[in-house]
């Protein structure tokens, strides 16, 4: 790059050189390199050769000649000035700076010449800064132009729809599948039954989901899904069910807000207890107060309707309408390390007054992402206060349930697990396949204490699941 243009101070650089030529007295015929080899120390001859090479723009040859002369005549300041002028022409920044330093420290150079050389140094710095700024700006503009062209090209060729299917398997071991109280009792159809003891069981669930994501614009999308699941118990049959579900979620991504709205419909056919239909609508907002602190808010409304069957003649009494809200915050120590605190309130109205209640739940959670997967710790306290006493069970005694739940979870994808071990190199294609298979495992303990004795129970569960998602 050309560092700067000579102005008045160039006259100074050439002044002494012109004097030297004047001493020669007349012009010479063109000097060959062979003559230089024969007389490498001849100052007059070498200067004439350098001048001839400069006229031809053979600056490398000029620099080589002048460097050799400055080594032979280190006290000759005129040679250094001449070399400086050529170095500037060739944009030899490092060489130019070294020469400026030598000249500035020389005792044989006048203050006026040193001032001129200092000006050269200032101009070099200014030019370098200006050119660096221009280069960076051009680089940014070129990158933005390339990104825009790529985006436009992709927009023309790429469909706004993304389709996928998902298959999953879950196995849950439950120490108290029927929530039998510590007194060996259970509420069955609004009657208290004495059980022989706590029943443990495992529940296997298979599910299949079809979904699509429609990209409305760069800041919003619509997600649709339809799924079916089947649950089977190993010993009992009370919780076996076939479930169909539909959902639609609209997401809007703003500068500081992430807004989502979801409508879902679930048809759960509990084989020994009739069907139940649930519709739910929710609105949620995640607001970034700072880069680390997020404010969480949401409202929801839902309705559940049950159909009685010969096995459960009171199913319709569980028909409910729910409405509630959620507030909370989330703090990120790092992008992979966070805590969350939420408060949820739900008002549930039911056909049977004794099934109506208010639920207040406080949840604290901790999350940490590792190379092998994501750790989650959760603790929640729920207080359910029923509006009316259940006269079929406890006469005039009001019902209140306090439920405490502790959960430890770990999740991720199989590629994280195998890659983190670094024992066996994973081929790229196998890594991509493993990356599409997610795993989840959790342990949970639930402790319920109620004013009704049959609501005093404890249960533990361990769950493991695998999910494979495929895009097409």
DSSP classification of residue 453: G
Give the number of other Cβ atoms within 10 Å of residue 11's Cβ.
11
Q: What pLDDT is recorded for position 135?
A: 65
The per-residue pLDDT for 5 is 44
Q: How many domains does the chain have?
A: 2
pTM of the model: 0.64
Sign of CA dihedral 56, 60, 65, 70: positive
Q: Is residue 444 part of a domain?
A: yes
Please check whether residue 34 lies inside any domain of the structure: yes
242: left (phi over 0), alpha (psi -120 to 50) or beta: beta
Please indicate, yes or no, whether residues 194 and 339 belong to a single structural domain of this protein: yes
Same domain for 91 and 170?
A: no
Residues 206, 254 share a domain? yes
Query: Residue 240 maps to which CATH number?
Result: 2.40.160.40
Domain boundary among 91, 111, 131: 131
Q: Same structural domain for residues 95 and 206?
A: no
pLDDT for the residue numbered 170: 97
CATH of the domain at 23: 1.25.40
- Counting as low any pLDDT under 50, the low residues of the chain are 1-9, 11-13, 15-17, 19-28, 129
170 and 125 within one domain: no
- Nearest 5°: CA angle at 276, between 350 and 251? 90
Domain-located, residue 361 = yes
- Which pLDDT score is estimated for 25? 42
Report CA-CA distances (Å) from 205 to 231, 371, 375, 457, 463: 4, 28, 23, 25, 11
What pLDDT score does 16 carry?
47
Residues 326 and 383 in one domain: yes
pLDDT, residue 200, reads 84
Residue 157 lies in a domain: no
Query: 109-115 long-range contacts, Cβ below 8 Å, gap at least 24?
Result: 109/77, 112/12, 113/12, 113/81
- The span from the CA of 47 to the CA of 26, in Å, is 14
Q: Tens digits of per-residue pLDDT, 34-67?
A: 777 777 777 788 888 888 888 888 888 888 888 8
What pLDDT, on a 0 to 100 scale, did the predictor assign at position 419? Answer: 81
Query: CA 36 → CA 11, 44, 48, 463, distances in Å?
Result: 28, 11, 10, 90
Distances (CA, A) of 204 to 169, 239, 242, 437: 7, 11, 12, 19
Candidates 139, 129, 133; CA nearest to 4 is: 129
Instruction: Classify residue 155: in a domain, yes or no.
Output: no
The answer as to whether 153 is a domain residue is no
Q: Are residues 91 and 184 in the same domain?
A: no
Q: In this structure, what are the phi and psi dihedrals at residue 27, rounded to the nearest 5 degrees?
A: -75, 155
* 212: Cβ contacts below 8 Å, ≥ 6 apart: 161, 162, 163, 164, 223, 224, 225
3-state secondary structure of 209: strand
119 and 231 share one domain: no
403 within a domain of the structure (yes/no):
yes
End-of-domain residue from the set 131, 146, 181? 131
Task: Please check whether residues 166 and 67 belong to one and the same domain.
Answer: no
Is 169 found in the same domain as 303?
yes
**Contact assessment for residue 182 and residue 161, using Cβ atoms and an 8 Å cutoff:** no
What is the span of the domain harbouring residue 14?
8-131
Question: Are residues 86 and 230 located together in one domain of the fold?
Answer: no
105 in the same domain as 18: yes
How far is residue 13 from each of residues 74, 81, 85, 100, 438, measured CA to CA in Å? 17, 5, 7, 12, 74
Q: Is 3 domain-assigned? A: no
Neighbouring-strand partners of residue 276? 268, 306
Q: Rounded distance, CA 203 to CA 235, Å? A: 9
The full 3-state SS of 81-122, as one line of letters, equals: HHHHHHHHHCCCHHHHHHHHHHHHCCCCCCHHHHHHHHHHHH
Domain C-terminal end among 131, 151, 176: 131
Q: By CB neighbour count within 10 A (0-12 exposed, 13-18 middle, 19+ buried), where does 33 fall?
A: exposed
């Amino acid at each position: 790059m050309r560092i700067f243009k000579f102005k008045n101070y160039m006259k100074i650089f050439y002044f002494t050189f012109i004097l030297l030529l004047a001493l020669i007295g007349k012009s010479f015929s063109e000097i060959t390199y062979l003559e230089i080899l024969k007389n490498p120390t001849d100052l007059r001859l070498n200067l004439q050769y350098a001048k001839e090479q400069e006229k031809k723009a053979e600056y490398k040859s000029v620099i080589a000649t002048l460097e050799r002369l400055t080594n032979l005549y280190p006290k000759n300041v005129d040679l250094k000035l001449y070399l400086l002028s050529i170095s500037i022409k060739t944009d030899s920044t490092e060489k130019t700076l070294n020469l400026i330093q030598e000249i500035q420290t020389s005792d044989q150079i006048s203050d006026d010449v040193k001032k001129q050389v200092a000006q050269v140094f200032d101009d070099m710095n200014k030019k370098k800064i200006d050119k660096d700024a221009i280069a960076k700006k051009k680089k940014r503009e070129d990158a933005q132009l390339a990104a825009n062209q790529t985006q436009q090209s992709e927009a023309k060729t790429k469909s706004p729809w993304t389709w996928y299917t998902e298959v999953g398997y879950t196995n849950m071991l439950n120490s108290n599948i029927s929530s039998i109280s510590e007194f060996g009792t259970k509420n069955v159809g609004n009657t208290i039954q004495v059980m022989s003891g706590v029943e443990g069981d495992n529940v296997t669930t298979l599910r299949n989901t079809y979904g699509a994501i429609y990209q409305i614009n760069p800041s919003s999308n619509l997600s649709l899904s339809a799924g079916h699941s089947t649950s089977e118990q190993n010993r009992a049959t009370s919780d076996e069910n076939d479930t169909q579900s539909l959902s639609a979620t609209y997401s809007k991504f703003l500068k500081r807000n992430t807004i989502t709205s979801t409508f879902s419909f679930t048809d759960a056919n509990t084989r020994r207890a009739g069907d139940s239909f649930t519709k739910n609508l929710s609105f949620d907002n995640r607001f970034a107060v700072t880069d680390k602190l997020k404010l969480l808010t949401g409202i929801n409304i839902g309705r559940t309707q049950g159909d009685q069957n010969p096995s459960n003649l009171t199913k319709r009494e569980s028909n409910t309408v729910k409405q509630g809200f959620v507030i909370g915050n989330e703090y990120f120590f790092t992008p992979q390390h966070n805590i969350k605190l939420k408060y949820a309130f739900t008002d549930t109205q039911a056909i049977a007054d004794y099934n109506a209640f208010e639920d207040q739940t406080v949840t604290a959670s901790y999350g940490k992402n590792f190379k092998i997967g994501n750790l989650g710790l959760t603790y929640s306290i729920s207080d359910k206060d029923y509006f009316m006493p259940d006269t079929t069970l406890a006469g005039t005694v009001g019902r209140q349930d306090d439920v405490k739940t502790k959960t430890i979870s770990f999740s991720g994808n199989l590629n994280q697990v195998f890659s983190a071990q670094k024992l066996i190199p994973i081929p790229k294609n196998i890594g991509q396949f493993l990356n599409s298979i997610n795993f989840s495992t959790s342990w949970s303990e639930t402790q319920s204490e109620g004013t009704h004795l049959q609501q005093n129970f404890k249960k533990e569960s361990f769950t493991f699941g695998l999910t494979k998602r495929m895009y097409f």
